[in-house]
Homo-oligomer: A and B are copies of this chain.
């Protein structure tokens, strides 16, 4: 129903901007159809008492929710003729809802406004879904160590889970919308058109990366805009529970959160070494190196994927740092993707523990985050998640090798979709896009985006016969 209303609003915008008739029909008809189906389903499945969700319901709702959103959401692109290939359209929409930002569209600057807004709205809705998924659902499904956040859900604590999830979602969405609004105002002040400011804000706070310009944010060539977007990308990469606590007056929450501190350290370190590398090689001045490295570093680490520079032309060292950041990602409980800082943190602790045990074989060394020891089950869950993530990466890369001209294109197309970043390197670099990839390759990458967004297990579990039994 939300999607149908979204399409209908975009139809309104489309009429306001006098888009071509194909675009207006392309939004109107799928919008009306989506709304009709939603109303029928809603009436048909109405119950009086609230329903308690089982784990299995959770998996199903989450995975099929994203899948159907991408299928329905793709209709306007196909219907309007903007992306005539349905597989390309589903890729684009999945990229939107998973807040990836990988695109098969060219000619954005001239594209109908209604469809550009719909594209940005897929990010906006996707980001809302991710928040409720990461903070309210995954910890209770026990996905890859995310149980660690079970106690940290903001909002009034209740006994029954369903109302608590609804409450948490509303709180986080409030923060999310507020961040969007503030960024819209700041971008407007910087001289961006209202329409572009809305679309780019949606893409920033959802850490998506769709732009309304073929040259992405490089189009504006404005330091002010880049600083604003960098700040909001950075904020969107932080656990939204921390924003909630900060808004309730507990500003110390940031400095007491070890995941945030690790995020800050990796971010500052990566951007600084890239600055030095760029200054030494390609950038004419230190300020221009700082500007390029911090914007791109933040964009890739938070898995947003906006571009102001063709980082595919950067020296190998900076490219390697960007690839590492693609795997690292932002904080858990944010809209970002990748492995997430909390997992990286615990993986590093696992390595450290082994070195300490090696020196003192008789010692009892616990993995701790902050000062709290982490349950052994969570630690091994994260190690298992890491292995499965790498296996998925290797398997999908092997498939992409069949469709891509070279290894770097194959590797980074998978890293950039599995981590929900958007642009990769070489033939999927920031100045190119995914339009030259054959359909079979687009299907692989569409699944990578879904798998990455749903933290692998949630989507993988649907494939197991066990899920369908009982």
Q: CB within 8 Å of B: which residues of A? A: 55, 142-144, 315-317, 319-321, 323-324, 347-348, 350-351, 353-355, 357-359, 361, 376-377, 379-381, 383-388, 391, 394, 397-398, 401-402, 404-408, 410, 425, 457, 460-461, 464, 466-467
Contacts and interface: CB of A to CB of B under 8 A. Distances in A.
A361 B142 contact: yes
Given A320-B407, A350-B384, A355-B464, 7 more contacts: A319-B407, A320-B401, A348-B391, A354-B380, A359-B464, A380-B380, A407-B408
A348 to B, nearest CB: 7
B398 A317 contact: yes
A359 B324 contact: no
Contacts of A381: 354, 357
A410 B359 CA distance: 32
Contact of A351 (B142, B355, B384, B461): B384
Contact of A401 (B144, B317, B457): B317
Contacts of A402: 316-317
Contact of A397 (B320, B391, B401): B320
A355 B407 contact: no
Contacts of A384: 350-351, 353-355
B320 A387 contact: no
A315 B407 CA distance: 9
24 contacts: A142-B357, A144-B354, A316-B404, A316-B405, A317-B401, A317-B402, A319-B407, A321-B398, A350-B380, A350-B383, A351-B387, A354-B380, A354-B384, A354-B457, A355-B384, A355-B461, A358-B457, A358-B461, A359-B464, A359-B467, A376-B376, A383-B383, A407-B408, A407-B425
A425 B377 CA distance: 40
Contacts of A461: 355, 358-359
A142 B356 CA distance: 12
Contact of A457 (B355, B407, B425): B355
Contacts of A315: 401
A320 B410 contact: yes
Contacts of A408: 407-408
A350 B386 CA distance: 10
Given A324-B394, A359-B464, A461-B358, A348 B407 contact: no
Nearest to A457: B358
B320 A398 contact: yes
Contact of A466 (B351, B359, B466): B359
Nearest 6 A/B pairs, CB to CB? A354-B384, A317-B401, A316-B401, A383-B383, A351-B387, A351-B388
A430 to B, nearest CB: 16
Nearest to A408: B407
Nearest to A403: B316
Contacts of A383: 350, 380, 383
A111 B305 CA distance: 53
Most buried by B among A324, A354, A404: A354
Contact of A407 (B144, B316, B394, B405): B316
